[in-house]
Chains A and B, each alone.
Chain A
């Protein structure tokens, strides 16, 4: 394959991560920020799982050796004598944990957003900051 195509997956993952990062910095809407956070996370997931992929490999679930040996297509392509290659299971385990933890974080963030909306009547960061500074001014006036 062409030289630079070898890096295409890594670069695509970085573009995805940076898209999430951009949403988190540039958008003031809090729900949008949470969506950006989850996009950023999935970028990291692809990177990890991609590192564990093995060419010609299959999912790391042990197959009965017979199934491979006797299938006609494998005999024809001469793979019957080879050992079965499996992809690396370790990144899969780490990412399984990360997905669940990510959703837990997301639920907590969204609960905070609902509370913020109840108090401030807005989920835009700049509105919330304006209300905050107004409130602080009021407190100073009372003193």
Chain B
């Protein structure tokens, strides 16, 4: 690949990241939650393309399946249980804006001594016991052509085990919040009259 090809690759990533910023701003502005959820699905698909452009094909597949698929579905499910439109904003957001700008400024100051994008000699890419070891030895040691798989399942197997534990815990949490014992809500002082009538109808 020539220098031009590298420039084109960089420009593709830049354009995609700019599109992501546009979608994120759209999510900030819109009041309709359904539109925001659909935009977040679009956002996940765009991020899958960013990951492809950054050579992370496994991450792109996961993001397209889990980010654009499952999380959009559970967001839509939540909307079907709750409200579709968010209340118009009455408070002012200057404090939030100041905090965000200050945090962003501090982070941008932190990027100034980072290695540039695509640098093959950066510490992360040239460490002899991590990336270089995986790329040179994993074919011999694990014998799987996909390095990401061998790192995920073998070198960092405990990491994946911990991930499974987290997902299991979350599943238990969701089930205990939504699945089990749904009928334990009588005489709640917080509910309005209309809702109590609705509940009585359901119970009957």
Contact = CB atoms under 8 A, between A and B. Distances in A.
| Band of interface residues on A | 35 or more
A10 to B, nearest CB: 4
B141 to A, nearest CB: 13
Is the contact region of chain A dominated by helix, strand, or loop, or is it mixed?
helix
A43 to B, nearest CB: 9
A67 B101 CA distance: 49
Given A49-B51, A49-B56, A61-B146, A90 B7 contact: no
A3 B75 CA distance: 41
A60 B81 CA distance: 42
B55 A60 contact: yes
Interface in A93-140: 93-97, 99-101, 103-108, 110-115, 117-124, 126-127, 131, 135, 138
A89 B147 contact: yes
B54 A61 contact: no
A106 B77 CA distance: 12
B107 A46 contact: no
Contacts of B120: 54-57, 85
Contact of B124 (A51, A85, A101): A51
B86 A27 contact: yes
Contacts of A50: 13, 54, 117
A110 B75 contact: yes
A111 B47 contact: no
Contact of A89 (B28, B66, B114, B148): B148
Contact of B54 (A7, A29, A49, A111): A49
B96 A54 contact: no
Contact of A9 (B17, B62, B189): B17
A23 B27 contact: yes
A46 B47 contact: yes
Contact of B67 (A60, A87, A103): A103
Given A42-B43, A127-B87, A21 B10 contact: no
A86 B17 contact: no
A15 B96 contact: no
A111 B173 contact: yes
Interface of B: 1-2, 5-7, 9-10, 13-14, 17-18, 20-21, 24-25, 27-28, 33, 36-37, 40, 43-44, 47, 50-51, 54-59, 62-63, 66-67, 70-71, 74-75, 77-79, 81-83, 86-87, 89, 91, 93, 96-97, 99-101, 103-104, 107-108, 111-112, 114-120, 122, 124-125, 130-131, 134-135, 139, 145-148, 151-152, 156, 159-160, 163, 166-167, 169-171, 173-174, 177-178, 185, 188-192, 195
